[in-house]
Chains A and B, each alone.
Chain A
Amino acid sequence: MSTHTAAAENQYIVRFTTKQRVEHFVTMIDFVGLVATGLPQKFYTARWAQGLIGFMGGIDNVRWLHRFFGIVLLISVVVHGAGAVSAILSRRVGFSMAVNKRDFSDVVQTLRYYLGLADHPAPFDRYDYKQKWEYWSLMIGNVIMILSGLTLMYPAVAARFAPGELIPAAKVAHSNEGLMAFLVISIWHIFNAHLHPDVFPFDACIFTGKISRERMEHEHPLELARLEGRPPPAAGHGH
């Protein structure tokens, strides 16, 4: 094998499995559906909201659509959670999304780099702290949305087991958590997946499942070294 072919073979690395790509795709579509049917209910006095609700066939329809997307979310979270737990249990491997001490020092190191106090950002493993933060925010958010959503969907049942005040509290939580998710995704996710100088205009990795070796070296050097059986590099690369 010549060096040339070896380099060509290594040009792309498989980063995401088909299941992960499908999960992302479903979540993406479902999220748009939830936001489109949810936010207009929160801001129902606004003209745009009333227009959107009218376009979707009135509030009756919008509520059913929202519940449909909500149940899809519930199913996808259960499937994902069960998959993650069984993967950890059966393969006895570490959960690469788990937050560890290193993530906190990575935050400090990266912020120091941004401020010009360090020469390079922290070198990351499979998931950097930003990705972990977004993943866990989404997961915790999903659980809050599902629980509060079910409470609002079956208020009379909920009141059988809990004080009635839980229902308006669930509404406040659902409405604010939903707004926050929408804002975080619009600002943070759109920046990282589209406007980030390294990936502009579009990071296709989660759709194709593949990432270039060059980007791996740049963004996940620790994982790359581990995959190639090398010791971790001494220093990271500047973004």
Chain B
Amino acid sequence: MRRLYPTLLLALAALPARAAIPAEQDSCLGCHGSDPTMTMDLPGAPGQDGKPQPEKLGLYVDQESFAKSVHGDMLKCTDCHTDKSDYPHDTKPFKTKRDVTVAFYEQCKKCHFSNYTKTLDGVHYQLAQKGNRQAALCVDCHGSHAIGHPGEPRTRVSSTCAGCHKNVAEAYGKSVHGKALTEGNSDVPVCTDCHRAHDVTDPRAGALSLRTADICGRCHTDEKLMKRYGLSTKVVDTYLSDFHGMAASLQKGKKGKGERLAAGCTDCHGVHNIMRPSDPTSTVLQANLVQTCRKCHPQATANFPKAWMSHYEPSMKKSPLVWSVQLFYYILIPFILLSLVIQIALHLWRVVVNR
């Protein structure tokens, strides 16, 4: 049987795409699958001049692309278009194409309940709740009839988000990660790797920034991955042992306001525009560092950036003063404690002997 599978799969793949669509579709596709120019007029929402701007809603379904989609051999039209089982269809008073999308997107949750639930924690849903009709819904990212496997290829994720987040996408495209992605490198993070896909955190509140040690650390502590690029995996540990790392770690779990007093990775390296530290435009290039420190430490002078040990552990070469102080205490503390404990022990021994 097991040997039969590949043969069966091959046989399936060889069949014409049309064959995968369940037969029930035929009655729908009789109208919606034949005429690519088939549209419906919607009155449209009032524009700036107060007059409605009519829109045309496309009613044609490309059978081939639907058949190739993840749902192609699984769903019938009426599974999603639940109100269209009869002909003539019930007409709903839609004014705009967006009205149609908003009305239908919740169909996804019937099957994809856990991901739908996740979106309820996401920033897009929060915006939609506040009345923002442009906030992304399932179909805005996944598409409707031509839904492919999410994240295949990875480059598609970033171009999907770019549909709305144009400025961010532009900055990302020029960054060390974005450039590599366009060159076909799939090691680099795409939008959803940091922001998540369904429960997208609102980055403006600062909570995301405090979590950057974990987020960036997922790749930047991966020995195998970093070796490919000659990068250090100590970046997170050295950050966490510094004041910034301590304060950020302790604050990331907390909700609510409160001063966000510690820099996360992105506060120094940039967010979407992260460059190689050797790039002349990098915010962490030695020459640009004072400027970066001043974002939080307005009184910083030329000496100040040296207070940060550039993700190096203290060593005689890199930071002799720090290294010497550390060594001094590594010797002094055990020496002092041992002397005191020995003296106490001798003292008590004498008391016992005298009795």
Binding site for B on A (CB under 8 A): 41, 44-45, 50, 53, 58-60, 63, 111, 113-116, 152, 155-157, 159-160, 162-169, 171-173, 176-177, 179-180, 183-184, 187-188, 191, 197, 238-239
Question: Does B80 make an interface contact (CB < 8 A)?
Answer: no
Which of B48-56, B150-158, B337-345 makes up part of the contact surface? B337-345
Question: Does B90 make an interface contact (CB < 8 A)?
Answer: no
Determine if A168 and B314 form an interchain contact, defined as CB atoms under 8 angstroms apart.
yes
Q: Known contacts A44-B246, A180-B336: does B306 contact A165 (CB below 8 Å)?
A: yes
Determine if A168 and B309 form an interchain contact, defined as CB atoms under 8 angstroms apart.
yes
List residues of chain B with CB within 8 A of the CB of A157: 299
Determine if A171 and B243 form an interchain contact, defined as CB atoms under 8 angstroms apart.
yes
Which among A63, A184, A197 is the interface contact of B351 at CB below 8 angstroms? A197
* Bound-state Cα–Cα, A114 to B346, Å: 6
List residues of chain A with CB within 8 A of the CB of B340: 184, 187-188
List residues of chain A with CB within 8 A of the CB of B247: 59, 63
Question: Does B281 make an interface contact (CB < 8 A)?
Answer: no
Determine if A239 and B301 form an interchain contact, defined as CB atoms under 8 angstroms apart.
no
Query: Can you report 28 residue pairs joining A to B where beta carbons are below 8 Å apart?
Result: A44-B246, A50-B250, A59-B247, A59-B250, A59-B261, A60-B251, A60-B261, A63-B247, A111-B343, A114-B343, A156-B297, A160-B299, A160-B301, A160-B303, A163-B303, A164-B306, A164-B308, A165-B307, A168-B309, A168-B322, A169-B325, A172-B314, A172-B329, A176-B333, A180-B333, A183-B337, A188-B340, A239-B354
Question: Does B105 make an interface contact (CB < 8 A)?
Answer: no
For the complex of A and B, the 9 pairs showing the least CB-CB separation, nearest first, are A164-B306, A176-B329, A167-B307, A114-B346, A156-B299, A59-B250, A164-B307, A159-B303, A159-B304
Determine if B350 and A58 form an interchain contact, defined as CB atoms under 8 angstroms apart.
no
Determine if A114 and B347 form an interchain contact, defined as CB atoms under 8 angstroms apart.
yes
List residues of chain B with CB within 8 A of the CB of A177: 329
Determine if B301 and A168 form an interchain contact, defined as CB atoms under 8 angstroms apart.
no
Determine if A238 and B337 form an interchain contact, defined as CB atoms under 8 angstroms apart.
no
List residues of chain A with CB within 8 A of the CB of B309: 168
Determine if B304 and A156 form an interchain contact, defined as CB atoms under 8 angstroms apart.
yes
Determine if A166 and B321 form an interchain contact, defined as CB atoms under 8 angstroms apart.
yes
* Tally of chain B residues near chain A (CB < 8 A): 47
Q: Known contacts A114-B346, A165-B321, A238-B354: does B301 contact A172 (CB below 8 Å)?
A: no
Shortest CB-to-CB span from B355 to chain A, Å, is 9
Which among A114, A115, A173, A187 is the interface contact of B329 at CB below 8 angstroms? A173
Quick one: closest B residue to A130, CB to CB?
A: B343
* Bound-state Cα–Cα, A238 to B354, Å: 9
Determine if A44 and B250 form an interchain contact, defined as CB atoms under 8 angstroms apart.
yes
Shortest CB-to-CB span from B212 to chain A, Å, is 17
Question: Does B349 make an interface contact (CB < 8 A)?
Answer: yes
Quick one: closest B residue to A113, CB to CB?
A: B350
* Bound-state Cα–Cα, A114 to B322, Å: 40
Determine if A58 and B306 form an interchain contact, defined as CB atoms under 8 angstroms apart.
no
Q: Which of B230-257 contact A (CB under 8 A)?
A: 240, 242-243, 246-247, 249-251, 254
Question: Does B86 make an interface contact (CB < 8 A)?
Answer: no
* Bound-state Cα–Cα, A157 to B242, Å: 19
Determine if A159 and B301 form an interchain contact, defined as CB atoms under 8 angstroms apart.
yes
Shortest CB-to-CB span from A101 to chain B, Å, is 20
- Contact flags (1/0) for B188-227 with A, using CB distance below 8 Å? 0000000000000000000000000000000000000000
* Bound-state Cα–Cα, A156 to B350, Å: 54
* Bound-state Cα–Cα, A165 to B325, Å: 11
Quick one: closest A residue to B340, CB to CB?
A: A188
Q: Known contacts A44-B249, A169-B322, A173-B329: does B307 contact A116 (CB below 8 Å)?
A: no
* Bound-state Cα–Cα, A164 to B290, Å: 12
- Contact flags (1/0) for B317-340 with A, using CB distance below 8 Å? 001011001100100110011001
Determine if B300 and A159 form an interchain contact, defined as CB atoms under 8 angstroms apart.
yes
Determine if B259 and A60 form an interchain contact, defined as CB atoms under 8 angstroms apart.
yes
Quick one: closest B residue to A189, CB to CB?
A: B340
Q: Known contacts A156-B304, A180-B333: does B322 contact A165 (CB below 8 Å)?
A: yes
List residues of chain B with CB within 8 A of the CB of A176: 325-326, 329, 333
Determine if B350 and A239 form an interchain contact, defined as CB atoms under 8 angstroms apart.
yes
Question: Does B353 make an interface contact (CB < 8 A)?
Answer: yes
